[in-house]
Amino acid sequence: MEIEFGWFINQVTANPVLLITVLLTLGVIFVNGWTDAPNAIATCVATRAMTARAAVLMAAVFNFLGVFFMTMINATVAMTIKNMVNFEGNPGDATVALCAALFAIIVWAVAAWYFGIPTSESHALIAGLSGAAIALQGGFGGINGAEWVKVIYGLVLSTFLGFGMGFVITKLTAFICRNKDRRKTAGFFKGAQIFGGGAMAFMHGAQDGQKFMGVLILGVFLVNGSDTTGNVIPPVWMMILCSVVMAVGTSIGGYKIIKAVGMDMVKLESYQGFSADIAAAACLLLSSLFGIPVSTTHMKTTAIMGVGATKRLSAVNFSVVKDMVLTWVLTFPGCGLIGYLMVKLFVAII
């Protein structure tokens, strides 16, 4: 089935429940741009390769391109998120559960942003949907274990591969340029950082853009009485919509996260910022091609830690890292619990 824009608008205007579902989904995409997408451009802004405004515009364009091209190549990430939970049964109750999960994600993300901590909306999405599915199905029958295993793979991948790639690429870059005049390489690495920031934004769209479009499509089908979406490919207009909403979020509230990731955790030089971007983008590409949902926040921050470790471990500000790790650890139980409670509350009210 192809979701045409005209049909979608008619459905939204005629169905208040779908309107609420779409607004909540766009709200989650907005806070993703607010708290997660800034990671992609944090290093090129921190090293002054680009102004924040130019970086946000670049991120908007490359987020869309990432969604568009990766969806054409492999839409598995979107399907993994959709298939991770079981919303089967009464479509009305399932829609309420989906809205509750989306509301939980927004609450969690805004709280993390308030404290300037880069949270993972990917993991918040997974946790919120899982908590809602458990509440809806009355147990862990609402969880698809085979798909959840991919999340575990993603956690391991984003932690160890991100750190390792950041370390190796920084060492390799330093070795290649060891006899170069640093003043002469400054211009090259400024351009290289812009390329690296674009690559990160592209891969952020490829990963997170797919996940949220999968949820939006699920909401459309649930409201129309179906608990399965078949093999729907997200339409181009939906890719543009998600990219624009994400960019608006980044431009309004992303500067706290840019500071935390790009400046506070490790003091980066241009070649180090380039190395972190290339390392994280390469890891995200690998994950997307294999259909493994990973956190772009985790991948970028662990890559930066790997870069910092090439100097010495003390170059990494572990007080900032501790706050990030604590937030990551608490995301699954915290956001899952909020999703569970919101379903109970919403069902009781309705």
Contact 284, 296 (CB under 8 A): yes
* pLDDT at res. 263: 57
Q: For residue 135, give the amino acid letter.
A: A
State residue 285's pLDDT score: 85
Q: Can you give the pLDDT at residue 187? A: 81
Residue 172's pLDDT is 92
Termini Cα distance of the chain: 31
| pLDDT value, residue 260 | 59
Torsion of CA 42, 45, 49, 51, to 10 degrees: 140
Model pLDDT, residue 319 = 67
- Tens of pLDDT along the chain (350 residues) come to 568 888 889 888 888 888 988 999 898 888 877 776 667 777 787 778 888 778 878 887 887 888 788 777 666 665 666 667 777 667 777 888 888 888 888 888 777 767 766 567 777 888 888 888 888 888 887 787 777 777 777 777 777 888 899 999 999 998 888 888 777 787 888 888 889 888 888 888 777 777 778 788 878 877 777 655 556 677 888 888 887 888 787 777 666 666 655 555 567 778 888 888 899 888 888 887 777 777 777 788 888 888 888 877 666 666 666 666 776 777 888 888 988 998 888 877 76
Q: Can you tell me which residue has the tokens 């499509």?
A: 217
Q: Read off the tokens for 294.
A: 């990973």
- Chain-centroid distance of CA 43 in Å reads 17
Q: In residues, how long is the chain?
A: 350
pTM over 0.85: no
